[in-house]
Amino acid sequence: MVAGGASRWSRRFSILSATFLVAWQAGTLPGIPRRAEVTLALFGFVFHMVFGKAYLLVPSYFGRTLGSGRAPAVHLPLAAGGTLSLTASALWDVPPLVETLGALAWCLGVAIFLGALVRTIRGSLAGPETGTSDARAEHRRVDRYANRFVPVALGYLAVGSYEVLAAAAELPPLADGYPPRPSHLLAAGAAGLLVLALGVRLLPRFFGVPAPRSLVAVVLPAGSVGPALVAFRLPGGVWFRVGALAQGVALIGFAAVCLVLFSRSDRRRVGLYGVLCGAVSGALGASLGLSFAFGSIAPALVDAHLRLNLLGFLGLSIVGFAFQFYPPTAGRFRWASDRGALGVVGLLSAGLFSDVVGLVGGITLLTVAGELLSLAGALGYAYVLTRLLVGIGARRAGPR
């Protein structure tokens, strides 16, 4: 019963995630403030999908089932309401109370999420249980290793969310209140590390070949320390450079993991192309981050770095994994096909590439074209995924 309820709420989180993606891409055309863009992208699009899938995946990866079936139902309105309130405070001249209430709602939702997961897996954090079947025994070593980094990602989520609340409610921050710090803690530390840790478990199953252990052994530790050093040492200094190097190793190494799996496998499912494009985008974004650490920082390059990491690494990875979990061919409507899903991945990837080239080269026409293509891809993704998930929910509900 708990698993069925978690699955239902996971679908609702996923639909909201896709809706926020459309809102984010629509907002880039008139040029909304960066804080509003990051809020829609990170809090709305990325984390609503992270929350929805984590309620299902994290307990199973520790050999458990979610202990609280009510947690997702209480969490969802808090996460959505908090995101909308924080976005409104970034877009318009609203009373400060709106931002404070939004940050409080977000943090309450995060506390419920963390409480439910920690309560579920607390007895298995350092144990051997991975939920890996005997038929996939060759994956157990990597699975057990990856599990150790999930609590680290959850810790980043707690710290980053507190920093958001501290800034809105005038509480004592852990650092100095510099806005990019919580963004990096949440994007690279929480969401990014979860993509790395869960990705090295999921992708070998999707590709049907074992993960390269030597690469995984380097990627996850680097991805666990890099975000903290970057976030707390921005915008410069020796430790900032060390953090940028660690983050570069993590993201470039993850792209190498994906490429190795891709080259060793004969499986060419449409979702895997999305994950591969996301991993390559992450490597490019990390390369730009290294240029900031060891060179100069230009506003246009910062925008390109943001797009590569949010829409590229996190965004395309989410889209790819979504099409793996919910195959488009399971739908019974127009564009419910691998070709339709590939079109979505192609539009988002082409839009990202055009946008980044336009930003780096100062070519406004390319930037606008990229934003339009990305918006078209976001609309296609939201349409296909929403129709799929509504159909799945209707079939599972059965006749009344």
Weakest-pLDDT range from 24-38, 61-75, 366-380:
61-75
Instruction: Enter the pTM of the model.
Output: 0.94
pLDDT digits (tens, 9 = 90+) for 201-222: 999 999 989 999 999 999 999 9
Domain spans of the chain? 2-204+211-224+325-397
How many angstroms separate the CA atoms of 193 and 85, rounded? 26
Provide the 8-state DSSP code for 267. -
For 377, counting Cβ atoms within 10 Å of its Cβ (0-12 exposed, 13-18 middle, 19+ buried), the class is buried
pLDDT tens-digit series, residues 279-290: 999 999 999 999
Confidence of residue 395 (pLDDT cuts 50, 70, 90): confident
Token digits of residue 380: 């296609």
Distances (CA, A) of 135 to 131, 138, 140, 205, 212: 11, 8, 10, 11, 19
Question: Are the CB atoms for 347 and 377 separated by under 8 Å?
Answer: yes
In sequence order, what DSSP letters do the residues of 110-158 get, joined into one string? Answer: HHHHHHHHHHHHGGGSSSS-----GGGGGGHHHHHHHHTTHHHHHHHHH
pLDDT tens-digit map of 76-97: 999 999 999 999 999 999 999 9
